[in-house]
C-alpha cells in the first residue's frame, strides 16, 4: 500500500480548501477553486504527490501527478 498522501481540493463553507488525504481538517482555505488549486499544486510539487480536484458535487473532476507516477499517461497512436 502506498504511503503517499495526495492533496485534495474540496468545497468548504468559506469557499474552497486543500486537504491532505487521510485528514479531516483543511490545510488551507481559499475564496476560489483556482487559488486552492495553486496552493495544492505548490505543495504537491514539494512533496511529490498528486493533486485531486473535486467539483462542487464532490465528484473527482481532475487529478495531476507531481511525483513519481507509477502509471504515467501513454500517448495514443492513431
Q: pTM, whole model, 2 decimals? A: 0.82
Which residues span the domain enclosing 29? 7-58
How many domains, the chain? 1
> Per residue in 27-60, pLDDT tens?
999 999 999 999 999 999 999 999 999 999 999 9
Cα separation, 66 vs 38, in Å, equals: 13
Instruction: Please report which confidence band the pLDDT of residue 4 belongs to, taking 50, 70 and 90 as the band edges.
Output: confident
Distance CA 65, CA 6 (A): 9
- Is 90 exceeded by the pLDDT of residue 3? no
- Domain membership of residue 23 (yes or no) is yes
- d(C-alpha 24, C-alpha 71), whole Å: 28
Inform me whether the pLDDT recorded for 7 exceeds 90: yes
User: Grid coordinates standing for 3?
Assistant: 504511503
Domain annotation covers residue 74: no
Residue 72 maps to a domain? no
As a whole number of angstroms, the distance between CA 47 and CA 16 comes to: 21
Amino acid at each position: 500500500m502506498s504511503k503517499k498522501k495526495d492533496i485534495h481540493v474540496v468545497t468548504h463553507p468559506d469557499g474552497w480548501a486543500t486537504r491532505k488525504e487521510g485528514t479531516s481538517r483543511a490545510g488551507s482555505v481559499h475564496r476560489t477553486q483556482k487559488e486552492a488549486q495553486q496552493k495544492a499544486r505548490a505543495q504537491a510539487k514539494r512533496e511529490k504527490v498528486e493533486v485531486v480536484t473535486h467539483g462542487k458535487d464532490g465528484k473527482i473532476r481532475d487529478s495531476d501527478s507531481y511525483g513519481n507516477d507509477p502509471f504515467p499517461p501513454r500517448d495514443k497512436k492513431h
